[in-house]
Structures are given as structure tokens and as C-alpha cells.
Amino acid sequence: MKTDREDIRSIESPLQAQRLGEETGPALSLPALLLHFLKIGAIGFGGGMAVIALMEREIIVKKRVMEVEEFLHGIGLGQLLGPFAVNAALFTGNRLYGPLGGLACAVAFMAPSVFIVIILAWLYFSFHAVPGLQSAIGGLAPVVIALILGAAWSMGRRAVRSWQSALLAVIALGFSLFKINAVYVLLGAGLIGLIAGTRKLGAVRLREKQKQDKKTKTPVSGSTAAVLALPAAAGVAVTGTSLASIAWVFLKIGFVFFGGGFVLIPVLQQKLEALGWLTPREFIDGVAISNLTPGPIAVLATFAGFHLHGVAGALVATLALFTPSLILMTFLSHGYSRLKKGPRVQDFLAGVTPAVVGMVVSAAVLLAPGALRGFAGWALLAISFLLLVRFRWHPAWVLAVGAVLGAVGVVR
């Protein structure tokens, strides 16, 4: 049986086939894609936009599994509900390997953070202290900001192609700096795109490749099913709270998970303290532990679930919180192929694309005041940006340098 790429080459000229190969690069197998997301989930310190930067560099730029514009559209759709980094992983996997592939990528991306939080939560509730990792983590902050700015530079070169789109990116940057809800910013940018049109914004009509139209519907293999299955781990409840109660509370919270992880904090604080599931001190320490992990701050649910019902409670709370956004993103990803063919939809997305670039820059600007302390911090930011953009160092190595400098006290 021919692969999609062989089918394309059989009906196109050699020159066309060569161009297609240059645009999209060799396709990743599902196991290879899962390994990439597992790695990104393990080193993606710094929050959503830092993780998006890693995805853009490791999967979109290096492996070229999809066009940058399409990835930016996925980021925009992922802002609607839940953590957009997890949604972006699901979108990528769904576009390549269907709904089960998308869910597998989301699980692979989240697995390292959930595992780390479970370990740290066990240490915390056993010894009543957060492990002394803060100094090393502090050295990562300038590198994370450089990583975000590098992603904005890379995305902007492809997505901002006219003065109109540049202006739209700047407007989105301004609104984001004032912490306007990301959903409103993206909807406004999309409406501007509808009014201005694709050509004025410098975008091109998305090309519908037969590779996408004839996307392989490969059944999920046994190994993928194993990745999708949650580990059957039993936890000992420290309270009388049932797993069903944990699932129901976090599922309801998941339906109002708009605007990113930090918007979720006051919602969780009010609910968990009202239920008596966490004391105010435990909640603050849970936020600190969540920030020590490479994943979204929403893994605070993992921390709370562990306190209530051990490992089983941690997994149930995490799954329940993320279920609404994963379902919504699966439907949006599945309908993306049909929707993006419409000219008006493409106009809308042409407005969203540069706005996402502006929002990426805003994340770096907002992080800078608290993360860059003194000359050493600014110097590490500049050197990291140069290493990532000019010399194309792997982010893991740059992050390691930052952690070492933080641990020895050079960067605080």
C-alpha cells in the first residue's frame, strides 16, 4: 500500500513533489511524535508560551510536520478553554494521526509534570516542606524568556508579512500587556481579519494538500492504547472524600477553565478551601510546587488530588479538570480541515495568526520584571537568545546552563 507521500508524487510533477517535501519535511511516526512531546513535557519550564516555543522549535521548525500558520491557528483555538499548551499538543497530534493520536500526544506531554507533582506532593505531605529547588529554578527564568522571544522571532518572520499584520500584532501585544482575556483579543483580531481580508494582512490562502485531504486514518496501535490508558495506581485516602466526589468537583471547574492557568488559581482557591480540601498554607505551597514543574500550573489539581486520595486521587483530579478542554479541542481539531477551506474562515484566521505572535511577545515582557534581576540576569537572557536563534543550540542545553548558574548563585 502506498503512503500518502507516494500517492502525491504519483500524480504530481517531480518539481511539485520536491516542493512539498521541502515544505513539510519527513513525517514523524506516532511513537516518534509521542517521544518528542514527552521530551518537551519534561523540559518545558516557564509556562504555556515557553512550552509553545519548544513545540514550535522541535516539531514545527525542525520536523516540519505542518505549516507555521496552521500551528498558530491551533494555538489560537487552544485559548478557548483549558491550558493552551496541552491543547496545542492535542491539535498537532490530531492533525497528523486523528483524535486518538491527539489525545495520546496530550497525555505524553502532561505525563512528566504529573509524575513530578506526585513525587513532590508525597515529599511535601510526608515532610511538610518544599524541596530546595528554588535557586536552580531561578536560573531558568532568563533562559525561558529568551526561548519565548526566539519563538516570537521565528513565528513572526513567517506570520507577519505586511504592515497591517504587524500593526495587528502590536495591538494584540498591547491588550495582552493589560491582561485582557486572550479569548477577547483573538476574537477581535479575527473580526479585523474578516474586515481587512487575507491579502491585506499579507497572508496567503491556505493550500489544501492532498496529503491533508487524504489523511491516514491509522488505527491506534496497542502501544498507543497503553500510552492512553491511565496507570492503575491505588492511593490511600487521607480524608473521607471519594474519587467520585473529586472527579465531579474538578470536572465542574474544568468547564470554567478560561484564560490560562493563573486565572484558574483563584477559582481553585475558593473552591478547595471552602470544601476544606486544602488549608490556605497548603494551597500556597501547592502553587509553588506547580511552578516547579515544566507543565501548566493546572497541575495544582494533581497536588490537591494526591492530598485527598493518594496517587489515584491525583490522576482522577487531573483527568477530570482537563476533560472538558480536551473534548472541545478534539472537536475543533477534527473540524479544522473543513472549516479552513472557507474564504471567510481563512480571513478570520489571517487576523488571529499575527495576534498570536503579539501575545507570545507579551508573555516575555510580563515575565521580565520578576525574572531578570541585575546584570547577570539580563546578560544570560541576551546570551541565551543568541545561542538559541543564531547558533541554534538545543533548548535543553541552554536550560541546563541556566539551572547550573542559578544553583551556584551567579543568577538569582
* Among 13, 8, 5, 29, CA closest to 221: 29
**Tens-digit pLDDT string for the chain (412 aa):** 334 333 333 323 332 333 333 444 446 788 888 998 888 888 776 556 677 777 887 787 777 778 777 887 877 777 667 777 888 888 888 888 888 989 999 999 899 989 988 998 888 888 765 555 556 666 777 887 887 788 788 778 877 888 888 999 999 899 988 878 766 887 888 899 888 877 767 665 544 433 444 443 333 333 333 333 333 333 344 456 789 999 999 998 888 675 555 556 667 777 887 888 888 778 767 766 776 677 777 888 999 999 999 999 999 999 999 999 889 888 888 777 676 667 777 787 788 778 878 877 887 887 788 778 788 989 999 999 999 888 878 776 887 888 888 888 888 7
- Contact status, residue 364 vs residue 136, Cβ threshold 8 Å: no
What are the sequence ranges of the domains in the chain? 29-217+236-407
Q: Centre a 10 Å sphere on the Cβ of residue 90 and count the other Cβ atoms it contains.
A: 30
Q: CA of 356: how far to CAs of 40, 79, 257, 367, 377, in Å?
A: 20, 10, 20, 17, 26
Could you give the CA distance from residue 44 to residue 396 in angstroms, rounded to a whole number?
Answer: 9
Q: Centre a 10 Å sphere on the Cβ of residue 217 and count the other Cβ atoms it contains.
A: 7
- Contact status, residue 28 vs residue 64, Cβ threshold 8 Å: no
Q: Where are the alpha helices (DSSP H) in 47-83?
A: 48-55, 68-78
Alpha carbon dihedral 307, 310, 316, 319, in 10-degree steps, equals 80
